[in-house]
Structure 1
Amino acid sequence: MIKRELGVFLTVGSLTVLFDFLTYRGLVWTGWFSVDIAKALGFLTGTLFAYFANRIWTFGHLEHAPGSVWRFALLYTITLSANVLVNAGCLALFSAISIAIQAAFLIATGVSAALNFLGMKLFVFKAIPLSEKS
């Protein structure tokens, strides 16, 4: 079961990253926001999609589970912070290379993706024992 969940999570994650990246790059390109704010907005763009796609498709929760929204919001607050901090740290570390933005984005995304999967599996959409379903 975890192999299927991980495979679907990676697909959902890929789509979420696409939303994130396009928003981030678009906002940086327009100059409307600082890099950090653009990164945060890009991350948040995929959040709604990620919640519903992971809830229904990845973890099979067709109905709303009480508490899942606040747990998801807490998890995403934590992983958003990690994502933005890792991105900023990598930008500082890689400032001399031409692909600093791309490298920082990929590393920040990898860190937050790993945290998100574990958090969703173990905290947000954890399996409900049969004894609690009735």
Structure 2
Amino acid sequence: MIKRELAVFLVVGSLTVLIDFLTYRGLVWTEWMTVDQAKAVGFLTGTLFAYFANKVWTFGHQDHAPGSVWRFVLLYAITLGANVLVNAGCLALLSTLSIAVPVAFLIATGVSAVLNFLGMKLFVFKTSNLTEKS
């Protein structure tokens, strides 16, 4: 079960990044918003997709789990903080390397992805409140 959830989680994560990027680029290209506004809307659009896709597809919850939205928001706030801190720490440790930025980005993204998966499985969409559907 966890292998399937992890595989679907990775697909959902990839689609989330794609939705964020395409929304951001589309809004900038059409000049409907400033770059910063477009980035915020892209991120929020991806986040909404991630919530519903992970709820239904990754963890199989068709019914509403009371409090899951707030747990999701809390989890994303925590993992955003972890992502920024890990990125900053890696940049400090690797500052002499020419590949510091992409390596720090990948490590920070990996850490936040692991934390997001565990947080969604054990905290946001925990199966103790709902009957798990396969």
TM-score, length-scaled by structure 1: 0.72
Shift of 1:59: 0.7
Name the CA shift for 1:20/1:100 in 2 (closer, same or farther; >3 Å): farther
For residues 87-102 of structure 1, the aligned pairs below 5 Å read 87-102=87-102
Which residue of 1 is the match for residue 61 of structure 2? 61
Distance (Å, rounded) in 2 between the aligned partners of 1:112 and 1:19: 18
Which residue of 2 is the match for residue 103 of structure 1? 103
Identity of aligned residues (%): 78
Amino acid at match of 1:79: T
Which residue of 1 is the match for residue 81 of structure 2? 81
Name the CA shift for 1:94/1:15 in 2 (closer, same or farther; >3 Å): farther
Unaligned runs of 5+ in 1: 24-31
Shift of 1:55: 0.8
Name the CA shift for 1:42/1:129 in 2 (closer, same or farther; >3 Å): closer
Q: RMSD over aligned Cα, in angstroms?
A: 2.8
Distance (Å, rounded) in 2 between the aligned partners of 1:117 and 1:90: 22
What's the CA shift string for 1:45-92, capped at 9, x where partnerless?
A: 632221111111101112322100011111111111000111111122
Which range moves more in the overlay, 45-54 or 117-126? Answer: 45-54
TM-score, length-scaled by structure 2: 0.72
Name the CA shift for 1:19/1:102 in 2 (closer, same or farther; >3 Å): farther
Amino acid at match of 2:105: F
Q: How many residues align?
A: 118
For residues 20-31 of structure 1, the aligned pairs below 5 Å read none
Amino acid at match of 1:86: V
**Cα pair 1:43 1:80 within 8 Å, conserved:** no
Quick check: 1:122 aligned with 2:119? no
Name the CA shift for 1:130/1:80 in 2 (closer, same or farther; >3 Å): closer
